[in-house]
Structure 1
């Protein structure tokens, strides 16, 4: 570890100032800050804590998704030593340190790395329970993080828009299609931009100040979605994003950012919270267009029954 301590006095002063703020978030801004903090603290750590520090510095991508017990077992120390290590860094507990590590790497992991991490993670618990617990935590965190006033303002913008464009690619395409399907039943000015990546700008050609563009994206963020948000913003459109953080590159160009947490220890993305936010958007728009929505669905029900779109059990039994 001879090459770890490479700091000048200014570096040390900056890190100590951050710690003095006693805010977990002050140490979560980026990888460099957290890694430097661990390096700075290294000489004063106990023998067991040094083992943890060395492991995190070398394998932070794996450590980010280990429980305190798992990390302790991996490096050969107790779970309580791991907790004390987190406290020594200034975090209120190990979960805060773990979250900082996850925030640091979530946009960097390749699918292969995600598979490797999930293999280790799911050994400890049944995948069904692990995934459901993770989704529940994402929903809980989303309820805490999302700004209700921002949500209401986004709904207002959707209702008064001349045209509504919904943009998203890769795994977010499913969310785009879902939102587009239901909004299209309520409004007649909805356009989906999720396929034909090469012509995304052609589909946004006429976007302007009276339009709303809804961008949906989560780590690893699609560059096409980011480019579409930037383009729409430059054309004067109101931009709404559904993403995982205010630090998301999509949020950079947004007038309104709706936070939906999507953490998942796997090669697939957790879309439970994003889908719930989308459900809420659809319901809110529908409630504001109540008469129109009722009339639309009354007509649709007649059409669906006439053309046997759905299985009508009572009708079948009567026949």
Structure 2
């Protein structure tokens, strides 16, 4: 049986265009088959019934909007997704959208709804960014945590396995404006040592990235950080789960999962927003460090002239 990633490799192969789906089971039948297996609580059955009755609209709702329409909490929607066999609401919504688009895939369907695989991946990321934009309507938490990260000296940034690239991006930017940024991209005892040394040196915060597939060693490292006395801000794709449960603050952002390997438009923007909040927290230090860096860069010709 193919792994989830192997299945994605087969289903997301790039083709010249996507033809209209063949006729098959009705959306109602597909949804009832999807939801009939698990034993659902009364609250979960309400969500299932709403999805069955409003599939063409509900498949494109954010978790916040769906919870409001049904009259349940956002955690209830997340738990419902897990109860019917999905890793979280984004994965469930992807399945719902495939059913809904199959319903809409008739000659009257707008061209943008019959997008090829690459366009569909972009559409999914646009939706992730739209959800993040709504979250940014209240930027207080981003501002508060940006200030806390700015004041933590040293500041530890952790990302293991696939999350290492996001951690490296954040650490690269943070080092331009912060005097002591420590990057952790290896787990095990290396991560343990880094957390303990950071706390002993006066650090107070860790910024951790936890993208799927979520690594056991990431969870262990976060627990070590908390045990050492460090607070943890986590950028991840799920607001609930073992990693989120261990963090002090969670920034949940959607990841693109339409292609073989995930894409991270929203988590990357979330990281950039926290960097901006750090620069705003101490503008004088920011300006001084950036000016010093530019002088060094000019002196040693770090960059090509435009």
TM bucket, shorter chain: 0.5 to 0.7
SS, match of residue 66 in structure 1: helix
2:253 aligned to 260, 266, 269, which one? 260
Structure 1 residues 157-200: Cα deviation after superposition (integer angstroms, max 9, x where no partner)? 11221321111112211110011011111111210001365521
Q: Which moved more, 1:157-166 or 1:203-212?
A: 203-212
1:17 deviates by 7.5
**Cα distance in 2 for residues equivalent to 1:299 and 1:32:** 50
In the alignment, structure 1 residue 270 sits paired with structure 2 residue 263: yes
* Alpha-carbon distance change, 70 to 205 in structure 1, aligned in 2, over 3 angstroms: same
Number of the residue aligned with 1:29: 79
TM (norm. structure 1) is 0.63
Number of the residue aligned with 1:219: 212
1:290 deviates by 1.8
Number of the residue aligned with 1:303: 296
User: What is the 5 A alignment of 1:18-167?
Assistant: 22-23=70-71, 25=74, 26-30=76-80, 33-34=83-84, 63-64=95-96, 66-70=98-102, 125-145=115-135, 148-167=139-158
**1:261 and 1:274 in contact (8 A); partners too:** yes
SS, match of residue 250 in structure 1: helix
SS, match of residue 183 in structure 2: strand
Number of the residue aligned with 1:202: 193
* Unpaired runs of at least 5, structure 2: 1-31, 51-66, 86-91, 107-113
* Higher relative contact order, structure no. (Cα contacts within 8 Å, ≥ 6 residues apart): 2
**Cα distance in 2 for residues equivalent to 1:307 and 1:207:** 31
2:166 aligned to 175, 178, 197, which one? 175
- How many aligned residue pairs are there? 239
* Alpha-carbon distance change, 159 to 27 in structure 1, aligned in 2, over 3 angstroms: closer
Q: Name which one, 1 or 2, has greater alpha-carbon Rg.
A: 1
1:210 deviates by 4.7
Number of the residue aligned with 1:190: 181
Number of the residue aligned with 1:241: 234
1:250 aligned to 231, 243, 246, which one? 243
TM (norm. structure 2) is 0.66
* Alpha-carbon distance change, 221 to 185 in structure 1, aligned in 2, over 3 angstroms: same
* Unpaired runs of at least 5, structure 1: 36-59, 79-123, 314-319
* Alpha-carbon distance change, 254 to 169 in structure 1, aligned in 2, over 3 angstroms: same
Two-structure CA RMSD over aligned residues (Å): 3.6
**Cα distance in 1 for residues equivalent to 2:127 and 2:42:** 36
**Cα distance in 2 for residues equivalent to 1:226 and 1:7:** 28
**1:244 and 1:259 in contact (8 A); partners too:** yes
SS, match of residue 122 in structure 2: helix
**1:167 and 1:193 in contact (8 A); partners too:** yes
1:271 deviates by 0.8
1:290 aligned to 252, 277, 283, which one? 283
**Cα distance in 1 for residues equivalent to 2:196 and 2:190:** 10
1:221 deviates by 0.9
* Alpha-carbon distance change, 285 to 125 in structure 1, aligned in 2, over 3 angstroms: same
